[in-house]
Amino acid sequence: MDADGTTVRMTVAQAAQGLGISAEAARQRVRRGTLPTEKSEDGSVFVLIDTNRDPERTRTDTDGTSDGTADKALLAAHLDHALDEIRFLREELVAWQEEARRKDTIIMSLSEGLKALEAPRDASPDARESRETATSTGDGVEEEMSPEEQPRSWWRRLFGAPQSRSI
């Protein structure tokens, strides 16, 4: 203890227990210089703990004093940043929802247009006309070919698709 009785000299493990932190965290604070230390003649490191300090606080400043204004300012800055991020993400969500509604409207109007373009499915096969292809012979006379006699297109030959039927 100091002459004024406010500072206690402890080992790193004792200081960690007194501060409510792990021994490794106390060692890191000693390395960073955020805990005041004293070295004995034999090389042992002792941590100097202020007994007047707030027992709820576990952090000290680099000079060994422990006022909470720096921590409160840091906490307020983090809170402001988090609130700004939340506000930005909410705006993004609203924009994405509006974009999705707009795309849904476009898709709906396109599908309604496609429904209007489709041919009626109840038309009987007799109502359809049979088309036959006319081919030209060498003597200038055109000859009608049935669908079975028409040459198959290259893609039907490649993929083995059946001969197309006339509509």
Q: How confident is the model at residue 110 (pLDDT cuts 50, 70, 90)?
A: very high
Can you give the pLDDT at residue 108?
Answer: 93
pLDDT at 101 over 80: yes
Tokens of 95: 């924009």
What angle separates helix 23-32 from helix 12-19, to the nearest 10 degrees? 110
What integer pLDDT is reported at residue 87 of this predicted model? 95
Across 21-47, average pLDDT: 88
How many residues belong to the chain?
Answer: 167
Q: Give the neighbor-by-neighbor strand order of the sheet with 7-11.
A: 7-11, 45-50, 37-39
- In CATH, the architecture of 7-67 is Orthogonal Bundle (1.10)
* pLDDT (mean) for 26-44: 88
Q: Where is pLDDT greater, at 61 or 97? A: 97
* Average pLDDT value for the chain: 76
pLDDT of residue 152: 75
Whether 3 shows a pLDDT value over 60: the answer reads: no
51-60, 63-72, 129-138, 156-165: which has the highest mean pLDDT?
A: 156-165
Closest to 15 (Cα-Cα) out of 79, 52, 58, 54? 58
Q: Which pLDDT belongs to residue 97? A: 97
The string of pLDDT tens digits covering residues 47-65 is 888 776 644 444 444 444 4
Question: Strand, helix or coil at 114?
Answer: helix
Q: Give φ, ψ of 8 to 5 degrees.
A: -115, 140
- Range picked from 10-14, 89-93, 120-124, 136-140 for highest mean pLDDT: 89-93
When pLDDT is cut at 50, 70 and 90, the band that residue 5 belongs to is low
Collapse the DSSP code of 129 into the 3-class scheme (helix H, G, I; strand E, B; otherwise coil) and give the result.
coil
Q: Could you tell me the residue ranges of all domains in the chain?
A: 7-67, 68-116
Name the pTM for this structure: 0.31
